[in-house]
Amino acid sequence: MSAHPPIIAVQDKSIDPATNEMVVLANDNQMSTVWDRFAAQKPQCKFGTDGICCKICHMGPCRITPKAKLGVCGADADTIVARNILREIAAGTAAHSDHGRMLVRTLKMVAQGKSADYQIKDPERLRNAALDFDIKIEGRTDSEIALELANFFMTQFAWSDEPNATLKLAPKKRQELWEKLEIAPSGIDSSIVEVMHRTNMGVDHSYRHLIMAGLKCSLADGWVGSAIATTCSDILFGTPKPVRSRVNLGVLSDEKVNIIVHGHEPTLSEMLAVASGDEELLAYAKSKGATGINVAGICCTANEALMRHGLPIVGNFLQQELAIITGAVEVMVVDVQCVMPSLAQVSKCFHTELVSTSEIAQSMGAEQITFDAKAGYECACQLIRKAIDNFERRDKTRVHIPNESMELVAGFSNEAIFQMLGGQFRSTFRPLNDAIIDGRIRGVVGVVGCTNPKIQSDSAHVKLTEELIKRNILVLETGCAAIACAKFGLLTPEAALAKAGDTLREVCDVVGIPPVLHMGSCVDNSRILMAATNVLLEGGLGEDLSDLPVAGAAPEWMSEKAVAIGNYFVASGIYVVLGHPLYVAGSENVDRLLREEMEGITGGKFEWEPDPVLAADKILAHIEKKRDALRINVKKERKALDMKERRAL
Ligand code: NFS
């Protein structure tokens, strides 16, 4: 390969041996990976890191320095830092919500009978969602309800003079606070437009006012766009239930045709999962010398296909190039988000064909086969045939698949947790609330987000999760964080139980849930919001999300989507610990607002803490503070009951 940055010395890029093994191989073969490019970028721009570089207008670009404390227009560091954060939130919200819009389009198409390949797989979820939004279900067919629901979801994107209707999924008190703070969004697209307008040159200059607009936009992500994406996926493809599978590069097969699905939208991967069992295609694969067809995933498409079909996961974000470097991938199918442009260069070193499938995303150097959901099955078959044809071109002498793969259990939707906790006859969160109230579970934490070459890959996810469960805290995971922990056995109930604190272990044993629950892809962080809401509604733990002994953490995040997620958690009243800060170091005021003053505004706040052990300590301290406020840490005196009191009980 040419025109690559210099190859750097191999150190341990990850705590995952499979990743390190492949990085060594890449270096030996003069192939550059994300870590080499990261090294070539060093030292990274301090103005960018501090958030004080502004190129919003063309009098600039401006940078704030001790000598030049203002940009050409007069904007100071506070305004510039706040505006830059807002634009990240807008981009993150746009990504999740546009993903949601695609799924609404598919739901509508299915409701109108325009695609025979997709069905409504979960009519119960459809009807429950319809009831949530006052859509009539009696005497109506699934298609009629789905059409009205899809049309209703479409209205949530445009501007309205009412707050977004999906916000009412949140606790009442929280909705009231959002309205009081004037941060209840009234349209996904209009919230994004408002942020872009307010951050435009010469509009909103107050960093406080700007940051509040960012929270409003982020709420349009978590409680609207992402919630819509998750709901539509469940209705169309099935609400996840616990499922076993395997994870890491070792799930690639040296005998089967390997097809990797990478990106975020589940519509095509769903069809690939179905088509990979097609008898004709299997026979065709065998005729070419393969023993079968292996569809496996990377990033959040992987999480979607895992949750609903038990498809194996090849790896998380930083493993996408390494998967191709195994020399065993016939086709990598990409759609949107987290797809590195470098994949085309890496795949050119092998027989791998990179196929880009989204109408809005093209990879340079990839073949474009734009996916059409109306002919979903045929499109999936075409891609599988392409992979089978390519199997013959695989150079067996260059195949290098690490041995590493690990078992995992995923599929913990709220619906599944309800059933597991409540048993067959009564769906309830009660056993979880009781365990939190009596202190056997201290609290619940969502560990989410990406991997990032700035941090030894997977290390912070795994360490933080281990430290939390050791402290008797139940952990909910999504995205690449879940994949990281899965690689280290933390998503097998047996292994995680062995690492959990005594009382958490005892509860998990009795109610039959593992201490680390994989809840899905990153849009499924909306499931974490709903889990917190369900705990609150079950009763005994306060009246608002900010009362709960809960927190969120993204120890290795990198994406603008993570910025939006962090902000909607904070806007929802939740304490959020990031492994490295937002780009705020250039503004003490914005930093203080986000890390301190915000608690008095939304009840949530940010913390930056790179050390996972200290992060766990801080989270536990926050949880204990909430428990004290709820007065559930007060030891109840054991009192012998007389007969009358027993009867009353
Ligand atoms: Ni989330 Fe999922 Fe991973 Fe980060 Fe990217 S795949 S949407 S952004 S890198 S967790």
Which ligand 1 atom is the nearest neighbour of the CA of 561? 8
Confidence at residue 512, expressed as pLDDT on a 0 to 100 scale: 80
The preferred substitution site among 34, 338, 521, 565 for testing ligand 1, maximizing ligand atoms within 8 Å of CB, is 338
Question: What number does the ligand 1 atom closest to the CA of 557 have?
Answer: 4
Give the separation between CA 445 and CA 447, rounded to whole angstroms.
6
The ranges assigned to domains in the chain are 77-232, 249-398, 423-630
Pocket of ligand 1 contains residue 564 by CB under 6 Å? no
Q: Is the pLDDT of residue 8 over 60?
A: no
Assigned CATH for 249-398: 3.40.50.2030
**Residue-level pLDDT at 6:** 45
Chain segment 421-430, per-residue pLDDT in tens: 876 566 788 9
Distance 449 CA to ligand 1 centre (A): 6
Residue 7: partners with Cβ closer than 8 Å, 6 or more residues away: 27, 30, 32, 36
Cα dist from 71 to 63, 67, 82, 185, 244, whole Å: 7, 11, 14, 31, 55
- Pocket of ligand 1 contains residue 298 by CB under 6 Å: no
Average pLDDT for 212-231? 98
> Can you state the angle between helices 299-309 and 479-487, rounded to 10 degrees?
70
| Protein residue with its CA nearest to atom 4 in ligand 1 | 450
Q: What percent of the chain has pLDDT over 90?
A: 92
CATH class of residue range 423-630: alpha beta
Work out which ligand 1 atom sits closest to the CA atom of 448: 10
Are the beta carbons of 332 and 357 closer than 8 angstroms? no
Counting from 1 in the atom list of ligand 1, the atom nearest the Cα of 316 is 3
Q: Quick one: which of 1, 9, 3 has its CA closest to 36?
A: 9
Q: Which carries the bigger pLDDT value, residue 395 or residue 429? A: 395
How many angstroms is it from 221 CA to the middle of ligand 1?
15
Which residue among 451, 561, 580 has the greatest number of ligand 1 atoms within 8 angstroms of its CB, and so is best to mutate? 561
Q: How far is Cα 276 from Cα 253, in angstroms, rounded to an integer? A: 14
- Is the pLDDT at 634 greater than 90? The verdict is no
| Contact yes or no for 295/273 (Cβ under 8 A) | yes
Question: pTM score, two decimals?
Answer: 0.95
What would the mean pLDDT of 85-97 be, rounded to a whole number?
98
Q: Is the pLDDT of residue 3 over 70?
A: no
Q: What is the pLDDT of residue 425?
A: 62
Mean pLDDT, residues 55-65 taken together: 97
Relative to the CA of 562, which ligand 1 atom is closest? 8
Residues 418 and 435: beta-carbon distance below 8 Å: no
State in Å: Cα 59 to ligand 1 middle.
35
Instruction: Give the Å distance between the CA of 532 and the centre of ligand 1.
Output: 22
Whether ligand 1 lies within 6 angstroms of the CB of 338 is answered as: yes
Q: Give the pLDDT band of residue 109 (cuts 50, 70, 90).
A: very high
- Compute, in degrees rounded to 10, the torsion defined by CA atoms 217, 221, 222, 223: 80
| Pocket residue to mutate for ligand 1, from 99, 230, 299, most atoms within 8 A of Cβ | 299
Q: What is the mean pLDDT of residues 574-598?
A: 98
What confidence tens digit (pLDDT) does each residue in 354-387 have? 999 999 999 889 999 999 999 999 999 999 999 9
Task: List residues bridging with 62 in a β-sheet.
Answer: 54
Cα–Cα distance for residue pair 336/361, rounded to 1 Å:
6
Q: What is the pLDDT of residue 115?
A: 87
Whose Cα sits closest to atom 1 in ligand 1? Answer: 522
Digit-coded pLDDT (tens) for 469-491 = 999 999 999 999 999 999 999 99
350 vs 136: CA distance, rounded Å: 55
Q: Is the CB of 300 under 6 A from ligand 1?
A: yes
* Per-residue confidence band for 639, with pLDDT thresholds at 50, 70 and 90: low
CATH topology of domain 77-232: Substrate Binding Domain Of Dnak; Chain:A; Domain 2 (1.20.1270)
Residue with the two structure tokens 């997620």: 565
- pLDDT value, residue 5: 45
Residue 584 Cα distances to 53, 328, 614, angstroms: 11, 43, 21
Q: In testing the pocket of ligand 1, which one of 262, 320, 337, 448 has its CB within 8 Å of the most ligand atoms?
A: 337
For the Cβ of 317 lying below 6 angstroms from any atom of ligand 1, the answer is yes
Instruction: Indicate the SS3 state at residue 477.
Output: strand
**Secondary structure of 228-244 as H, E, C letters:** HHHHHHHHHHCCCCCEE
Topology alike, domains 249-398 and 423-630:
yes
Contacts (Cβ under 8 Å, ≥6 apart) of 140: none
CA pair distance 176, 101, nearest whole angstrom: 27
pLDDT in tens, 435-475: 999 999 999 999 999 999 999 999 999 999 999 999 999 99
pLDDT surpassing 80 at residue 2: no
The letter for the amino acid at 258 is N
Tally helices (H) and strands (E) across the chain.
27, 16
Q: Identify the band that residue 638 occupies on the pLDDT scale cut at 50, 70 and 90.
A: low
For ligand 1, atom 5, name the residue with the nearest CA.
338
Atom of ligand 1 nearest to the CA of 299: 6
Residue nearest to atom 7 of ligand 1 (CA): 522
Residue with the smallest CA separation from ligand 1 atom 2 is 300
| Percentage of the chain exceeding pLDDT 70 | 95
Cβ(542)–Cβ(432) below 8 Å: no
In this prediction, residue 644 carries a pLDDT of 65
Which residues are registered as beta bridge partners of 344? Answer: none
Which ligand 1 atom is at minimum distance from the Cα of 338? 5
Rounded Cα distance between 273 and 270, Å, is 5
Bond before 43 cis per omega within 30 degrees? yes
Model confidence at 55, pLDDT cuts 50, 70, 90, reads: very high
Report pLDDT for 10.
53
Distance from residue 298's CA to the centre of ligand 1 (Å): 10
- What angle (nearest 5°) sits at the alpha carbon of residue 67, between those of residues 63 and 68? 40
Helices (H), 156-298: 172-180, 188-198, 207-219, 226-237, 266-275, 279-287
Q: Which of 480, 487, 528 to mutate to test the pocket of ligand 1 (most atoms within 8 A of CB)?
A: 480
Q: Could you tell me the distance, in angstroms and rounded to a whole number, from the CA of residue 438 to the centre of ligand 1?
A: 35
Q: Is the CB of 555 under 6 A from ligand 1?
A: no
User: What pLDDT does 1 receive?
Assistant: 40
